[in-house]
Structure 1
């Protein structure tokens, strides 16, 4: 992906607040397609971002965010399994509701700085997202879909990492202000 593409997604990569609420303003119907939610071993980047030990388990939630049925974002959130019995227990029952319902309506939750990142075209995360994208949408994930952003949310000492991977279709849109 060239610098022009990154520049055209820059506003999305840096937009503060709720991505779900910003996306909802783009069309008539916003939806969350739950791909999977399960217990999984730590991934190195998640472990580092959450400050976790080398061994253990996370609860992982992977979704596609859609506007008017068009898939626009693949997202993955991860939290230490123990935190789902404490500060992040509501994550277990979230289903197809946006994660924003948990993150932005609670003053006790604090977000780290957004960290834009270009994924490797052949890296594990990109390949994993591409398999899920194809299975969920029937479409091959666009080759230009390489730009993501990461952030960590903290509540009562427990951290939740969110990674959002943006479809190139968002280049034509402005993020606007969330409601």
Structure 2
């Protein structure tokens, strides 16, 4: 019977597997030993979340983009007609929120460019659609007493995200 010695091979195989899995553990939230040279261990892509997401999502909410393990370098969000949703970044650039809310029955697409803490550049694309408006309510409001002709009236209402009917282009 012939004997084969494998302890050395098994140990070196384990070391190689450990070397390969250590970066994966660091990227998946596990713990990995710091590098011997004291460098950065977190060179995993940033994790991006976009809210809302999916189909027929609730309308009337802003679009929010967040990054973990890195920062957002740019965010672009557009509707199906190419209208851009402008927004603003947080001071640390880990979040972005649109300046206006989503509207009923619309499709949106977005692209977020990121840079991880270790410098890795990444891109995340997302899309979602909003639900159609359930119903349109008509609101009539009249004062208790009639105003004199020419009286100035100011009406403030949060209507962004409210279905106001179909848009018609002017001739």
TM-score between the two structures when normalised by the length of structure 1? 0.23
Question: Which protein has greater RCO, CA pairs closer than 8 Å, 6+ apart?
Answer: 1
TM-score between the two structures when normalised by the length of structure 2? 0.24
More helix by share: 1
Tell which structure's C-alpha radius of gyration is larger.
2
